[in-house]
Amino acid sequence: MKSNEIEVMHHQSFESLKQEEDGGEFWSARKLSKALEYYEYRNFLPVVEKAKEACKNSGHNIHDHFVDIHEMIEIGKGGQRQIADVKLSRYACYLVVQNGDPAKPIIANGQTYFAMQTRRQELADDHAFQQLKEDEKRLLLRNEVCAHNRQLVETAQKAGVETPLDFAVFQNHGYKGLYGGLDANGIQQRKGLKKNQKILDHMGSTELAANLFRATQAEEKLRRENIQGKNKANQAHFEVGKVVRQTIQELGGTMPEDLPVAEKSAKQLAKEKNKKLLK
């Protein structure tokens, strides 16, 4: 099985473990431990404790994300036994996989999955962000994409993506994964944009958010796995793009190539904003 197929399979596994209760969602630490290939739950508990410490250090309330519970299980011949478990929020799962064994491929894939899901939920829950108008969201996300693309360039260079042509090929691999095989030129044609119009400048906030996930997670994957060689870096970028696409599909979202084009470019919006500030 190819690595990108394994990655998608892992993401589907994480999604299938999600449980719902009182309108909220959670993951069972015991079930997650099995998925993350910790076959003895006691070996998984130190990882949970590290995640709790990270939660505390980040300024979050541990009890909002880690809830200790006890459940009764069948032990045969009609008997039952009480076992301890922990209800984990999505953010708790993210911290757990960040503190797991990085040598395990499923841990690395879990880091990508929960990072994307956590960031998506942050944007959805951010009241201030939701109050912004579409053009304001676009400018904010466009600036974030620019900042993370710079980080991606630096990390890709360390992996062996050295020349401007190398980086263009590297970027196209990410686009192909996210846009179902379309490279930058293909996206431009699909969207009806002119050659001098940058595709990122004409994306709406939803599409920009998807590309932000792609850029941040590609940079993280290259760094985390210490990927070396431009071919491996290209493949890693493609795989991340494909997983972001898979996540959009699982959530019932519109594929990025089918999202509408914004009339005004991000540059136009920035100029208009600056003019207002100068008045």
Report residue 61 as tokens: 């309330």
Range of the domain at 182: 133-264
121 pLDDT more than 60: yes
Measured from the Cβ of residue 205, the count of other Cβ atoms closer than 10 Å reads 22
pLDDT in tens, 228-242: 999 999 999 999 999
Is residue 3 in some structural domain? yes
Give the count of alpha carbons within 13 A of 86, CB side only: 24
49 band by pLDDT with thresholds 50, 70 and 90 = very high
Domain boundary among 95, 118, 141: 118
Which residues, 6+ apart, have CB-to-CB distance to 25 below 8 Å? 18, 19, 89, 90
Is residue 270 in some structural domain? no
Is residue 110 in some structural domain? yes
E strand or H helix at 104, and its extent? none
Is residue 61 domain-shared with residue 163, that is, in the same domain? no
Domain boundary among 91, 118, 145: 118
Q: What is the C-alpha to C-alpha distance for residues 96 and 51, in angstroms, rounded to an integer?
A: 5
Q: What is the C-alpha to C-alpha distance for residues 274 and 154, in angstroms, rounded to an integer?
A: 30
- pTM of the full structure: 0.61
Is residue 213 domain-shared with residue 251, that is, in the same domain? yes
Q: What is the CA radius of gyration of the chain?
A: 21
pLDDT in tens, 164-213: 999 999 999 999 999 999 999 999 999 999 988 999 999 998 899 899 98
73 pLDDT more than 80: no
Is residue 126 in some structural domain? no
Report residue 133 as tokens: 């108008």
pLDDT in tens, 126-146: 655 565 688 888 888 888 888
Is residue 276 in some structural domain? no
DSSP string, 218-261: HHHHHHHTT--SHHHHHHHHHHHHHHHHHHHHHTTPPPGGGSPP
> Which is more confident, 278 or 23?
23
CB of 179 closer than 8 Å to CB of 257: yes
* Count of the separate structural domains present in the chain: 2
Is residue 101 domain-shared with residue 212, that is, in the same domain? no
